[in-house]
């Protein structure tokens, strides 16, 4: 595994280890399931289980995009919302990080 993938895996594992209420894991699960989404779609999905403001959801997805490096952001025009999608080359890393954090005792 090259150094970039190792760093991304480490960042993702740290991000998930700091998950207190399961929200971070839930967001990553949604990303794995949907592959592509907007902040509005993610907000609807999250609010089925958690109560979170639209801006907090936007901040969460922005953090994942900018700090973890596992998302690609695309905006067709200035009038359309940003569409976030998982980078295919990190799918195995994401799945293994979720399994690793799920197997750790609380």
Residue 105 has pLDDT above 70, yes or no: no
Domains of the chain: residue spans and CATH: 3-103 (1.10.10.10)
Q: Which of 45, 68, 42, 71 is nearest to 55 (CA)?
A: 42
Pick 103 or 55 by higher pLDDT.
55
Residue 98's pLDDT band (boundaries 50, 70, 90)? confident
Alpha-carbon gap, residue 35 to 86, rounded angstroms: 6
Question: What pLDDT, on the 0 to 100 scale, is given for residue 59?
Answer: 95
Torsion of CA 71, 46, 59, 17, to 10 degrees: -70
């Amino acid at each position: 595994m090259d150094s970039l993938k190792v760093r991304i895996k480490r960042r993702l594992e740290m991000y998930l280890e700091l998950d207190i209420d399961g929200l971070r894991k839930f967001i990553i699960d949604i990303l794995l399931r949907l592959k592509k989404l907007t902040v509005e779609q993610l907000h609807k999905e999250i609010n089925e289980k958690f109560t979170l403001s639209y801006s907090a959801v936007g901040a969460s997805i922005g953090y994942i995009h900018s700090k973890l490096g596992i998302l690609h952001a695309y905006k067709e025009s200035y009038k359309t919302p940003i569409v976030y999608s998982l980078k295919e080359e990190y799918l195995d890393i994401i799945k293994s990080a979720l399994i690793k954090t799920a197997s750790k005792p609380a």
